[in-house]
Amino acid sequence: MHKIAHKAFQLPVLESGLWFHNDIRDNFYYASYLYAAAEDKEIEVAFDREAAKDKAAKMMLEIFKLQDRNPSSPTFGHWPLHLDPIPKEAPKNTLPVELMGSLMVYFYKRYGTGFHDVLRGAFEQGLQYVYQSNFYRKRMEHYHHHEAKYTAAKLLFGQLFDDRELLEDGQQSLQDTLARLSQVGMSEYGCLPWFWHWVQAFTCAWELTEDSVIRTALTRMLDYLWDVRATYYLRGAWVGAHSRAWWHDLPKDQNVLMDYVQFGDFELPEEMPRTEFAGFLFYEAPQSARELALHRTEPVEIKCKVPRPAAEAGEPLHSYVYLTRDYAVGGIWERAEEFDNEQHRFSVTFPLLGDRSVNRAYFFLAAEMNAPEDLRHQSGFTEVLYYQNCAAALFTAPATYRGQVVGCLPKGDWLEAAGSLYGSYGNIFLAVHIEQPFKREEHEDRWTLTTSGAGNAVVMECIDKAVAEGLGITELTSFMAKMEQRKPVFHLSRSKDAGSEWSVEYISLRGNRLELKEPNENFSKALINGIQPDYSRYFYHGIDFL
């Protein structure tokens, strides 16, 4: 709260009276932090408290001026999202009120007694409009992040305006969601923007609810959410596949404020792109979840079925992660068309090491319309194989495909050999083998790799430096020498004629034989020591401890 408040106090006010035009919610979040820090005498500040409260109050009043106050409007009670070029002319959007509306209730209940009359009146009127907008009156259908926020809003506004029917609707929606999660889990896997909206919305409701039965159900919900987070946690990073990834999730975990408040076992980056009330809302995770996240001693394999969204038919996806104290390898076996084509298939993931570098190594076949600087949007033509400390991928697009295979690696120290790169990053050595010639480009916080053409194959293998020492590997040069003796065997046919075979074979440092082939009727696509991956051991919940 201290860091954001000081930044807010120093922000220049634009001609519109706001700080930000990219997202109206940022104005409310930063104003909230500034007001709260000025109000809390236990927080040491370097600014005049009354001046800060006045500045924050003016910002909030400007925000309320942009709310749709016309009861006959289809966007009554809503705000615009993006404000350029003229905020008062920006079209209203349904997104800001979903989360900001509930957080406004929280802020009003916690600090409202200290508001001056004009600000208190603006909050009371604005929240009345939100309540009357009925944006949250939706039946449960998808069990996704939107409905999680609707459920929390039903509970909050039902209590605030003594609407018993709405409160009971929220309670039933909460119970229905808990039943869905306990039976099959979350469809929005590894999904940082959306997952934190679940946490924020239900923590907000948990903080304010006066009904003991509802509070108990909210406790169950938050215990579940933090258990999910702890399962895929690695010192500030979220390991494994993502059903969606924004620029602050890939190639570096930057949406970390909730993690920092909960676990605090990594260096907080200077850049904080998502400030959504992490300094206000805190629910302590169960001790078992904290132990799982903070005190890993042995590697684990996390094999999880991921249900399709409730409103969609189809078989579940299968997520695999091999997680150790210092790295993780894994992803999702199946390609799925997720929202905005932001499915992230696989990574080698490292803990956050401050602002110096990205913390992921991965490759993908870029979608044809993907911007070169965007390391997220992927095409379909990819087969994958994960096993313990190794990952392999075949990129099998036709010759006419216009996308490129793109790679991203953390800074570290790297040595290059024919078709391979060998890196040292943190406590890990990483080998990267690439079938096609590549071009490597250095950036401030990463290396990016590109290859000509869409057909390619990649194998990556990690090893902990302490384990490597037992194999006589004491430095990057000896690691390179060891790995040069065991390069993968690639078979890629550029013609893609009928019956042609695209495959990669690799024997890992642990002696595991990995084979990946483009699937057809003659052979299976993935073999681990001659055996196909066993999906029968994937469950909707559960961890295999090796």
* pLDDT given at position 491: 87
Beta bridge partners of 462: 430
Which helix (H) or strand (E) element contains residue 517? strand 513-517
Which of 388, 337, 392, 421 minimizes the C-alpha distance to 502?
392
DSSP letter at 340 equals: G
Residues whose CB falls within 8 Å of the CB of residue 212, separated by 6 or more in sequence, listed in order = none
Alpha carbons 244 and 508: distance in angstroms, whole number:
30
Extents of the domains making up the chain: 1-135, 299-545
Q: Would you say 525 and 517 are in contact if contact means Cβ atoms under 8 Å apart? A: yes
| Strand, coil or helix: 430 | strand
Alpha carbons 436 and 450: distance in angstroms, whole number:
10
Burial 309-335 (b: 16+ CB within 10 A, else e): eeeeeeebbbbbbbbbbbbbbbbbbeb
Beta bridge partners of 523: 520
Which of 346, 366, 367, 405 minimizes the C-alpha distance to 526?
346
* pLDDT given at position 546: 40
- Residue 496, amino acid: K
Alpha carbons 91 and 58: distance in angstroms, whole number:
22
Residue-level pLDDT, tens digit, the chain, 546 residues: 788 999 999 999 999 999 999 999 999 999 999 999 999 988 899 999 999 999 999 999 999 999 999 999 999 999 999 999 999 999 999 999 999 999 999 999 999 999 999 999 999 999 999 999 999 999 999 999 999 999 999 999 999 999 999 999 999 999 999 999 999 999 999 877 789 999 999 999 999 999 999 999 999 999 999 999 999 999 999 999 999 888 888 999 999 999 999 999 998 888 888 888 999 999 999 999 999 999 988 999 999 999 998 888 889 999 999 999 999 999 999 999 888 889 999 999 999 987 789 999 999 999 877 777 789 899 889 999 999 999 999 998 887 888 889 999 999 999 999 999 999 999 999 999 999 999 999 999 999 999 877 789 999 999 999 999 999 999 999 999 999 999 999 987 655 554 557 899 999 999 999 999 986 555 568 999 999 998 888 888 754 444
Q: Would you say 81 and 96 are in contact if contact means Cβ atoms under 8 Å apart? A: yes
| pTM of the predicted structure, to 2 decimals | 0.95
HSE-up (13 A, CA, CB side) for residue 320: 18
* pLDDT given at position 518: 81
Residues whose CB falls within 8 Å of the CB of residue 21, separated by 6 or more in sequence, listed in order = 14, 82, 83, 84, 85, 87
Alpha carbons 166 and 158: distance in angstroms, whole number:
5
* pLDDT given at position 70: 97
Tokens of 275: 């400030």
- Residue 349, amino acid: T
